[in-house]
């Protein structure tokens, strides 16, 4: 967030604007692709090769079929999660625009942890397992003063 360029911010804004056009559940494939582009653009803006590589690995760990299966089982939950994810992305983008690395980090980590909670809901992953994983990264989140 500290060193993000105006061009990188413009790219993130363009992705968000396109996401605004794909909010219907029937447009889930477009939304998923744009979400991947948003996350990749943030990783690339770090200019940190490790971060870029890690995102590439993590992005393949959550295949789209998991989401599509949930879409057919619980469409009302998916609709809510898409809206929430959009709001989280917008807040993260605002933190980048402010060049506030602490806020960007906190919001990004909360976004990841919230994704874990959706996995719990969609895939019936045991809450205990997710809480254990959460504890492993929660120390990275700086609480607001």
31-51 tens-digit pLDDT:
888 999 999 999 999 888 988
Q: Is residue 118 a contact partner of residue 100, using CB atoms and an 8 Å limit?
A: no
What kind and span of H or E run contains 28?
A: helix 28-45
95-120 tens-digit pLDDT:
999 999 999 999 998 888 887 777 77
Task: Label residue 129 by pLDDT band (50, 70, 90).
Answer: confident
Residues 6+ apart with CB under 8 A from 120: 126, 127, 130
| Sequence-ordered alpha helix ranges (H) in 46-141 | 49-59, 64-73, 75-97, 101-123, 127-138
For the chain, percent of residues with pLDDT exceeding 90: 32
For residue 66, the model assigns a pLDDT of: 63
């Amino acid at each position: 967030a500290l060193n993000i360029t105006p061009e990188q911010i413009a790219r993130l804004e363009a992705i968000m604007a396109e996401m605004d056009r794909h909010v219907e559940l029937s447009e889930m494939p477009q939304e998923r692709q744009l979400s991947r582009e948003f996350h990749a653009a943030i990783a690339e803006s770090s200019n940190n090769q490790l971060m870029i590589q890690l995102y590439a690995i993590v992005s393949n760990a959550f295949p789209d079929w998991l989401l599509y299966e949930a879409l057919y089982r619980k469409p009302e939950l998916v609709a809510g999660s898409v809206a929430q994810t959009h709001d989280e992305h917008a807040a993260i983008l605002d933190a980048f625009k402010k060049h506030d690395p602490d806020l960007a980090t906190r919001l990004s980590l909360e976004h990841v942890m919230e994704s874990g909670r959706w996995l719990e809901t969609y895939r019936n992953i045991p809450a205990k397992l997710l809480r254990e994983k959460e504890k492993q990264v929660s120390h990275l989140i700086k609480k607001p003063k």
